[in-house]
Amino acid sequence: MKAGEIKEYVSSILKQEIEYFDYVELMNKLRKDNRKTIQNLSSTVCRFLENKEKEVQRVKNMYDFDKAFQVQGYIAGVDEVGRGPLAGPIVAASVILDLDYNKDKDLILKINDSKKLSPETRKELSYIIKEKAISYCIAELSNLEIDSKGIAWCNNEVLRKAAMELRIKPMLVLSDGYGIKNCGFENEFIIKGDAKSATIACASIIAKVYRDDLMKEYANIYPEYGFDKNAGYGTKGHIEAIKRYGHTPIHRISFLKNILNML
């Protein structure tokens, strides 16, 4: 094969991250090639393997973090998104995973705090999480409920709903940052839990993807506000749109008092 063809082949293999591919054999073949440029590709494969091993270990630590609670039953992780925006609902998700992985392929790699992931990675992971989860639930409370009952109450309630409405009931619910009042289950809160706990991280991701997709739908209805880009948060462009066009039915009026007073 020509050098260019080999580079393209290696690049495609690494992008696909083929599950049963023998990367070590590929690396050895590249090293034995007489061409220096091809030999250098072996270092690329080596770095890929090292990074993958680190990622596997990182995610194992997240699964093991949850397993360390040693409950006789299922553990659910819950997290919310959309506490601070000026428009749209607050959303929470709950996820129960099979924490007793037998092989590395059973792990859901790349899971993390959803804010640390690209939109493309979040979308991909959301599908994988829903496929591999033993159970998951997504709950939301509207901007009207936020205006009538307050964001603090809604924040707790949406987390509670996500946990309570799981099809399979957990023995323990792990929440990110703070405890859930009237949860109905034993509850442990974890500071920065979406970076430590596998179940919380997965909940964080599917909640974020669900809400972002919802705000993109609203962007088609209210195109002036850029909801597909700002997800309802108070960006400069969003605030200028409110001042120019007024608020929409999905805006949180209780969050807009300072802006509306300027009109």
Provide mean pLDDT across the span 58-65: 96
- Tokens for 144? 């009207």
The predicted pLDDT at position 20 comes to 55
Does 80 show up as a binding residue in the annotation?
yes
For the chain, give me the number of helices (H) and strands (E)? Answer: 10, 5
- 97 has pLDDT over 80: yes
The predicted pLDDT at position 262 comes to 59
Q: What is the Cβ-side half-sphere exposure of residue 62, based on CA atoms within 13 angstroms? A: 27
* Proportion of the chain above pLDDT 90, given as a percent: 73
Closest to 253 in 3D by CA, of 173, 172, 143? 143
Does 64 show up as a binding residue in the annotation?
no
3-state helix, strand, coil in the chain (%, to 5): 55, 15, 30
CATH class of 75-217: alpha beta
* Proportion of the chain above pLDDT 70, given as a percent: 96
Span of 104-118, 151-165, 215-229 with lowest mean pLDDT: 104-118
The predicted pLDDT at position 127 comes to 97
pTM of the predicted model as reported, rounded to 2 decimal places: 0.87
- 255 has pLDDT over 70: yes
Does 228 show up as a binding residue in the annotation?
no
- 43 has pLDDT over 90: no
Q: What angle do the packed helices 36-67 and 198-221 form, to 10 degrees?
A: 100
The predicted pLDDT at position 124 comes to 95
DSSP state of 135: E
Provide mean pLDDT across the span 125-145: 97
Q: In what order do the strands lie in the sheet with 186-190?
A: 135-141, 90-96, 75-81, 172-176, 186-190
Closest to 132 in 3D by CA, of 212, 59, 185? 59
The predicted pLDDT at position 21 comes to 67
Higher pLDDT, 137 or 48: 137
The predicted pLDDT at position 30 comes to 80
Which long-range contacts does 18-25 make (Cβ < 8 Å, 24+ apart)?
A: 19/105, 23/48, 23/49, 24/49
